[in-house]
Amino acid sequence: MYWNPSAECMEPEKLRELQTKRLIRTIHHVYQNVPYYRNRMQETGVAPGDIRSLEDLALLPFTTKQDLRDNYPYGLFAVPLSEIVRIHASSGTTGKPTVVGYTQRDIQTWAELMARTLTCAGADKNAVIQNAYGYGLFTGGLGVHYGAELIGASVIPISGGNTQRQIMLMKDFGTTMLTCTPSYALYLAEAMAEEGIDPTRDIILKYGVFGAEPWTNGMRREIERKLGIRATDIYGLSEVIGPGVAFECEIQQGLHVNEDHFLPEIIDPATGRVLPDGQEGELVFTTITKEGIPVIRYRTRDLTSLSREACQCGRTHVRMNKVLGRSDDMIIIRGVNVFPTQVESVLVTYTEVEPHYLLVVERVNNLDRLEVWVEMSDRLFSDEVRRVEEIRHRITRELESLLGLSVGVKLVEPKSIERSQGKARRVLDKRTLS
């Protein structure tokens, strides 16, 4: 289903003309109103008049999360605070939080993008959407909320946590769509099983919209099997707007980027060189309609690739592949790059283990060592030792073959790995604790 087919299926040439017009207007806007961008452009010898086409985007300097922190709180705002109607911020766990501001028009744009996202995932005005993303400074909850209300759906603003109440309301309120992180969706499925609730019999849930953390297609199949739903991937980040930057269609072969509002690029994370479509690298975004805090060539640190091949759904916007991981979440073991999603892709093929795992890295005798902790299923936990060892050896061989390094695998008791009601913690790097 389409929410706005004239935008989502725009002819490529018409889209390019619109993008160029909006890019030029945005560059003039930030040059005149954001001293940081004006100084950066002057330092690199770029004037607003030099930006005349989409190809000229590469002339502009990058923006990083550290730049937002260095200009905390309002240094990158492009309008007076009197025009800002909403302020969001990151958690700030690694320093000053990154702050973003929205004008009234920005809020309307955000609602439009989330209406596209939720409609494509299966929602309409008859949907009952249980929104288990966090409400507050985090952008997730309110972004979904705006889109659901614009569609005319009934939204349950339950936020994250309180799992038993989530399940009760899902049953009593007739929830048809669940929105949360994929790891929390699995946690909810696990909690239902413990309560003896059969999702295909006891609730009428049909769809799930999951994002805010990388997840594999294997995890998608696990969620769909356990909850009896169609699981859809979405992508967004607060620095760009929040959820609604990109979303999956029913074909599920990449996420359509809302290109009438955001210009995506893929760069080599080491050199900053723009890479061609199809090549994997770091995702970069330039906003071309935001008023409150436009960002120019923002480095997301997310690793993916772009495809401009025609999609069977009819949408013409470029697609980004599922995010492999973040360059700052990647761990390096004896010179080998390892992402949690690589490990997950192996684990989800085993019915004998659960998709709850932790990568534990430590340094032993000056050598880095990776051990993967993974929960056994209840069935395997009660099986004989020989069977447990057989599964452990098989997983070890597959991981070592995939990663190209020696790996320790530790099968742990069911429910022993800490659960998260938001983003799952996948890595414990003890090297940074020593």
Is the backbone peptide bond immediately before 73 cis, with ω within 30 degrees of 0?
Answer: yes
For residue 159, give the CATH number of its domain: 3.40.50.12780
Boundaries of domain holding 393 = 331-432
Q: How many Å apart are CA 116 and CA 361, to the nearest integer?
A: 41
Say if residue 354 is in the same domain as residue 244. Answer: no
296-318 pLDDT, tens digit each:
999 999 999 999 999 999 999 99
Say if residue 259 is in the same domain as residue 350. Answer: no
Looking at residue 433, what is its pLDDT? 57
- The side-by-side arrangement of strands in the sheet containing 367-376 is 408-412, 367-376, 353-364, 427-429
Say if residue 340 is in the same domain as residue 323. Answer: no
Looking at residue 404, what is its pLDDT? 86
pTM of the model: 0.83
Domain boundary among the residues 288, 307, 327 is at 327
Looking at residue 405, what is its pLDDT? 87
Looking at residue 418, what is its pLDDT? 87
Say if residue 304 is in the same domain as residue 384. Answer: no
Domain boundary among the residues 270, 293, 327 is at 327
Instruction: For 186-297, list the strands marked E by DSSP.
Output: 207-210, 230-237, 242-248, 255-257, 262-267, 281-287
Say if residue 314 is in the same domain as residue 337. Answer: no
Looking at residue 292, what is its pLDDT? 98
Adjacent-strand bridge partners of 353: 376
Say if residue 340 is in the same domain as residue 251. Answer: no
Looking at residue 122, what is its pLDDT? 97
Q: How many Å apart are CA 136 and CA 114, to the nearest integer?
A: 17
Looking at residue 161, what is its pLDDT? 85
Say if residue 308 is in the same domain as residue 373. Answer: no
End-to-end CA distance of the chain, in Å? 52
Neighbouring residues of 61: CB distance < 8 A, sequence distance ≥ 6: 40, 41, 43, 44, 46, 296, 297
Say if residue 305 is in the same domain as residue 369. Answer: no
Structural domain count, the chain: 2
Q: State the CB neighbour count (10 A cutoff) for residue 220.
A: 22
Say if residue 399 is in the same domain as residue 308. Answer: no
For residue 376, give the CATH number of its domain: 3.30.300.30
Below-70 pLDDT ranges, the chain: 91-95, 328, 366, 432-434
Say if residue 340 is in the same domain as residue 273. Answer: no
Q: Inter-axis angle of helices 217-227 and 340-347, to 10 degrees?
A: 50
Q: How many Å apart are CA 352 and CA 215, to the nearest integer?
A: 20
Looking at residue 93, what is its pLDDT? 46
Looking at residue 339, what is its pLDDT? 83
Looking at residue 68, what is its pLDDT? 94
Q: How many Å apart are CA 368 and CA 254, to the nearest integer?
A: 35
Adjacent-strand bridge partners of 236: 243
Domain boundary among the residues 296, 327, 358 is at 327
Neighbouring residues of 113: CB distance < 8 A, sequence distance ≥ 6: 147, 241, 244, 245, 258, 261
